[in-house]
Amino acid sequence: MLRSLTGLAVIALAALLYYFADARDVPVASEALAEDLPPLIDLTNDEANNISVFEASSPSVVFVTNTQLRRRRFSLNVMEIPKGSGTGFVWDPSGLIVTNFHVVYGANKITITLQSGNSYEAEVVGATPEKDIALLKIDAPDEELVALPLGDSSTLAVGRKVLAIGNPFALDTTLTVGVVSALGREIKSMNNRTISGVIQTDAAINPGNSGGPLLNSRGELIGVNTAIFSPSGASAGIGFAIPVATVKSIIPQLQKYGRLYRPILGIETLSDSWASRLKIKGVVIFAVKPGLPAAKAGLIGVREDIRGNIHLGDIIIAIDGEPVTDEDSMLSLLENHQPGDTVRITCLRDEDITEYELTLAPPDAEL
């Protein structure tokens, strides 16, 4: 009991000393104790690096709002409703903004909010759902547009430190830190195309981080955060980013053509579901388009004989020796080429394997 009273007396005395000392603006015991604690500026090298990268990079990170139009049920008046939000970043000072395609998909209006707090309506310069990348443009003052320096994703290694900046759950400019967990991953895009060479990281990526930058310890862009793997929809330590090397190759195409500029064979295909039903591995040509590479090389599609029986034509099973198992794998192989390139197409027709050489055409050749 005596000890309790003594303790209470000490606390009461300390409170009185603090009160009177504060009133006279003189040092108190708590301040004296504070002098014995490590100063706040005594940071580890890693902490200093985190702060430095965040302060240098956050002015480049933007908030993306997707707004869609809806009619009221009874009045039929059109109204704007927020569809979702995400993150983006300044690609260059001309006002180009990079984000994920799924962040702006279906938008009637896209608003970009910069670190200054100023908001600007964006126009879509180009988009590629196959790679989940969209390129936007805003008209903003040069001093508000700070572009991120570009890194080299080919030099990454598992264990390298990475930093992600985004707007998870609409909480603006949030930093998370982690490492490269794996390289060369594959994920599916919105249109079920395979995105290859993806970076896996344990830096927390939550809804709203999509489209934001993944940075190295030098503050250079090495990827675009695009997805998480989580049953709950929140970060579970498995996030994915599209490597900057892929983004670098895509942006010029989006600027010039508004889409991914993939060379074509000039064919129409049966869907993969039909090929699966027929237990076929490969791409079944339904028809060839006159005047285009496949037709010129002699490939044929599905045909009907005089009795009305349907016969399959050519089934593409390889391009330049690389196996083709479905349309996705075929398109991925074609993306490695340019219009004018010569490729070797291996086809199966009536149980016979035939090879054709043809010159790829530009995508606008079939228009």
Residues involved in catalysis: 102, 132, 210
Contact 181, 201 (CB under 8 A): yes
Q: Scanning the structure block, which residue is given the tokens 């900057």?
A: 244
Burial 176-197 (b: 16+ CB within 10 A, else e): bbbebbebebebebeeebebee
CA dist 105 and 231 (Å) reads 23
CA dist 250 and 41 (Å) reads 42
CA dist 355 and 337 (Å) reads 18
Burial (CB count within 10 angstroms: exposed 0-12, middle 13-18, buried 19+), residue 324 = buried
Strand pairing partners for 121?
111
For the chain, what is the radius of gyration of the CA atoms? 29
Residues 6+ apart with CB under 8 A from 19: none
Closest CA to 224 of 192, 250, 193: 250
Query: What 3-state class would DSSP assign to 232?
Result: coil
Query: What 3-state class would DSSP assign to 99?
Result: strand
CA dist 16 and 127 (Å) reads 67
Cβ count within 10 A of residue 271: 12
State which H helix or E strand residue 357 sits in.
strand 352-359
State which H helix or E strand residue 24 sits in.
helix 2-24
Amino acid in the structure at residue 26: V
- Our measurement of the distance from residue 179's CA atom to the centroid of its chain's CA atoms, rounded to an integer in Å, reads 18
Burial (CB count within 10 angstroms: exposed 0-12, middle 13-18, buried 19+), residue 23 = exposed
Contact 159, 182 (CB under 8 A): no
